[in-house]
Amino acid sequence: MILLDGKSVAAARREALKPRVESFKSKVGRAPHLSVVLVGDDPASRVYVRNKEKACHNTGIDSKVYNLPADISQEALDQQIEILNADTTVDGILVQLPVPKHLSVESIMKKIKPEKDADGLTYMNSGFLLAGNAIVKPCTPLGIMRILEHYKINVEGMKAVVVGRSQIVGKPMTLLLSDANATVTMCHSKTKDLKSYTLNADIVVVAAGKRRFLGRGDFKAGSVVIDVGMHGSGAGELCGDVRFEELLDVAAAITPVPGGVGPMTICSLLENTVQLAELRAINYQK
């Protein structure tokens, strides 16, 4: 069984990214810059943002976090995004999700300029992805594909199942696997007899958002299991959507939680930021 160690893959990719960051600095006179907008005091979001800040710093990327109150109006949030859109020193913008329920994710996705969309989730960039011509790709699905690439797991011809259909993971994951020539089925909360799909899959990406949702009896021997879930417990321990310990003698390869998909999501964010910075610099020179 191969442990798909996203932490080590992310560390290697960050090291490989540093020369691009230094090259950008020497040509443009500043580092690539990521602005992160954090609304409210959600503890998990604060941890994610802190980890992103640390990763930026360690890679030489500038970052700034805008901490906004939970009761901020949609108009005020939109104005903050517009300020970042207009700032020529800002290469990437990320609004940390989820946001408080009174705010519109749709409005946020419309406001962020596609050329500054570090998360790859704006509607225009989603359209480019669907057309097979993405400028940047959503961070978690991209990170998963990088893990598979690193461990030389070729999904071409595989039967793939994606459990979950969110805009952040499920839908773009389905597209990226399909672009890599897997035959993909997307399952969700309304799917009848989910087990009949996962048991027949060569690779399963589980992004159900349900703690320890699937286990030994849900996967065939020799399958590749990617666990996107991240859940805490009263003891402070983290677990995923999959009962990891049940699959150690079943799966051919599996991501751990923590240390699997999470570090690669952040790594993809850094790579997207540098990619956007380079593209903006090229377009500016023209």
Closest CA to 176 of 118, 113, 128: 128
At 239, the amino acid letter reads: C
> What does the alpha-carbon distance between residue 99 and residue 149 come to, in Å, rounded to a whole number?
32
Compute CA 35 distance to the chain's CA centroid, rounded to the nearest angstrom: 16
Per the DSSP assignment, residues forming a β-bridge with 39 are: 68
Cα 278 to its chain centre, rounded Å, is 20
CA nearest 9: which of 208, 152, 174?
A: 152
Of 47, 4, 7, nearest in space to 226 by CA: 4
Catalytically active residues are 52, 96, 119
